[in-house]
């Protein structure tokens, strides 16, 4: 897991700008005749089960009757396809179905749960190139990084499969004769997962694979700017669950905006909330979850520096600093924001980086 899960405050600001631009561009593009999904060049999108209009709710069945949003390619600002988001009523229905599915999933032995996660990893492997292409098209990172992001989900599935046979608990001595104390770990229940646009597959995968193996069910709200990726990934996971005659609500999804995210943060039925995003929004989420004494997992912004000493190898420093700054177009929490240079190297390093 080479990349962290988060956005910095600066990147969150750029995301807000991107959203505002998309809102304006939506009006400009309203009269456009076509979507990229109908272009022969992008016919591969249909291999992921996508169409012009896509349901943004999954809880064992597909639906969505909320706001219709158009996903745009950030490289050319062309519309890709549309997704219908969840209403609050659909969110409520999804939470109820997900909680019911947990009663089934938690009773399945951990190694059997690991087998399902293994199948999810294999299903992702089969679609890794086309799904990586979607990440590149919708999020904006280069193709190689898009494929690499899906690979990270696959890798964590592999890790989780091993974990499914190693969830243990110590046997402790008791002060009572002829007795022993046995410690057993149990799942928490429903894990809500709110992810950011910069890693629309990997962040969900890291949370999902581990949560499933531990006996939890998941409710996912992806970023509003990458809804097609959320739908495509959910379709892959749902197919695995359906083939194994398991409730699809084990891995539910509700596309939406801040209203859905706020509902998840305040909902006492969400036993643990994993949030990935800016420090500013993370503080708000933390307060809402804490208000109900809930569990939370926050992956927030970074402010990272590379420190270069006098004896540093500049052949390593320069390309490392450049990639650390511009990889994923600078849209990740591990992005380098500061260089701390020894004064004797300052001019040389700056000159080489500029070059």
Asked if residue 279 lies in contact with residue 301, where contact means CB atoms within 8 angstroms, the answer is yes
CB atoms within 10 A of CB 4: 18
Hey, which residues does 254 pair with through a beta bridge?
Answer: 57
Q: How far apart are CA 125 and CA 153, in angstroms?
A: 10
Collapse the DSSP code of 211 into the 3-class scheme (helix H, G, I; strand E, B; otherwise coil) and give the result.
Answer: helix
Q: With CA atoms as reference, report the closest residue to 255 among 71, 64, 37.
A: 64
Hey, which residues does 4 pair with through a beta bridge?
Answer: none
Task: Count Cα neighbours of 285 within 13 Å in the Cβ-side half-sphere.
Answer: 27
Query: What token pair was written down for 312?
Result: 């540093």
Alpha-carbon torsion (134, 137, 138, 143), positive or negative: positive
Characterize 234-246 residue by residue with b for buried, 16 or more Cβ atoms within 10 angstroms of its Cβ, and e for exposed: bbbbbebbeeeeb
In this structure, the dihedral spanned by the alpha carbons of residues 139, 141, 144 and 146, taken in order and rounded to 10 degrees, is: -20
Asked if residue 260 lies in contact with residue 221, where contact means CB atoms within 8 angstroms, the answer is yes
Asked if residue 135 lies in contact with residue 200, where contact means CB atoms within 8 angstroms, the answer is yes
Catalytic residue list: 299, 333
Which position has the token pair 């001595």? Answer: 173
Q: With CA atoms as reference, report the closest residue to 331 among 154, 71, 156, 135.
A: 135
Collapse the DSSP code of 56 into the 3-class scheme (helix H, G, I; strand E, B; otherwise coil) and give the result.
Answer: coil
């Amino acid at each position: 897991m080479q990349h962290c899960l988060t956005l910095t405050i600066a990147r969150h600001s750029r995301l807000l700008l991107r959203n505002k631009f998309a809102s304006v561009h939506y009006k400009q593009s309203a009269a456009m005749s076509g979507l990229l999904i109908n272009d022969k060049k992008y016919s591969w999108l249909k291999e992921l089960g996508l169409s012009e209009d896509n349901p943004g709710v999954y809880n064992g069945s597909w639906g969505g009757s909320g706001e219709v949003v158009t996903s745009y390619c950030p490289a050319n600002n062309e519309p890709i396809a549309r997704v219908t988001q969840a209403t609050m009523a659909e969110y409520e229905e999804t939470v109820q179905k997900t909680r019911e599915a947990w009663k089934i999933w938690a009773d399945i032995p951990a190694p059997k749960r690991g087998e399902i996660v293994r199948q999810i990893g294999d299903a992702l492997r089969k679609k890794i190139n086309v799904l990586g292409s979607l990440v590149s098209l919708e999020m904006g990172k280069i193709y190689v990084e898009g494929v690499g992001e899906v690979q990270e989900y696959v890798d964590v599935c592999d890790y989780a499969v091993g974990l499914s046979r190693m969830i243990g608990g110590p046997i402790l001595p008791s002060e009572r004769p002829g007795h022993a104390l046995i410690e057993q770990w149990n799942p928490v229940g429903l894990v809500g997962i709110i992810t950011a646009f910069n890693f629309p597959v990997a962040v969900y995968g890291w949370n999902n694979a581990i949560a499933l193996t531990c006996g939890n069910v998941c409710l996912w709200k992806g970023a509003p700017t990458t809804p097609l990726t959320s739908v495509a990934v959910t379709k892959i996971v749902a197919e695995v669950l359906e083939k194994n005659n398991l409730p699809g609500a084990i891995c539910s999804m509700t596309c939406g905006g801040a209203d859905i995210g706020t509902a998840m943060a305040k909902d006492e039925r969400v036993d643990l909330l994993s949030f990935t995003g800016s420090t500013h929004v993370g503080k708000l989420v933390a307060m809402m979850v804490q208000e109900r004494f809930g569990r939370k997992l926050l992956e927030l912004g970074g402010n990272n520096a590379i420190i270069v000493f006098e004896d540093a190898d500049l052949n390593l420093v320069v390309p490392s600093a450049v990639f650390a700054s511009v990889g994923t177009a600078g849209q990740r929490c591990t992005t380098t924001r500061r260089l701390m240079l020894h004064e004797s190297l300052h001019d040389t390093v700056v000159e080489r980086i500029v070059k």
